[in-house]
């Protein structure tokens, strides 16, 4: 859902961000739509395009996941110490390709 973002995206753009085919992105969107996390709407700038947008339910889920991650990170900081955790994050950034948008990492890492 982070790849969809608060402004929305198209299935093609979502597929690119996820590194999957347009068909795989479309199936993901269908599932998220069925679960009421997203909705599809016409793009006001180009009525031929459909935009995938997070619903209030999807935005709530995204906010909840951010809060949960912040709690996890606070626990890691308590265990390792803030300096060691920052060093670990820096090391992970160093070994992670810079041109890849990762969805399995929080905003503080990316």
Cα 1 to chain centroid, rounded: 4
Say yes or no to pLDDT of 106 above 70.
no
The confidence score (pLDDT) of residue 7 equals: 84
Q: Where are the alpha helices (DSSP H) in the chain?
A: 11-18, 22-34, 56-80, 82-95
pTM over 0.95: no
Closest C-alpha to 102, from 9, 3, 7, 27? 3
Say yes or no to pLDDT of 25 above 60.
yes
Closest C-alpha to 9, from 101, 108, 110? 101
The confidence score (pLDDT) of residue 53 equals: 94
- Binning pLDDT at 50, 70 and 90, where does residue 6 land? confident
Average pLDDT rounded to a whole number, residues 54-71? 94
């Amino acid at each position: 859902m982070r790849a969809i973002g608060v402004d929305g995206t198209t299935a093609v753009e979502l597929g690119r961000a996820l590194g999957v085919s347009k068909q795989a992105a479309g199936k993901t969107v269908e599932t998220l739509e069925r679960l009421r996390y997203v909705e599809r709407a016409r793009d006001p700038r180009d009525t031929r395009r459909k935009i995938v947008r997070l619903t209030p339910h999807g935005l709530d889920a995204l906010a909840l996941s951010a809060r949960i991650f912040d709690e996890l990170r606070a626990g890691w900081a308590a265990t390792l110490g803030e300096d060691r955790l920052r060093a670990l994050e820096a090391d992970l950034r160093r070994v992670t390709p810079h041109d890849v948008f990762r969805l399995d990492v929080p905003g503080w890492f990316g």
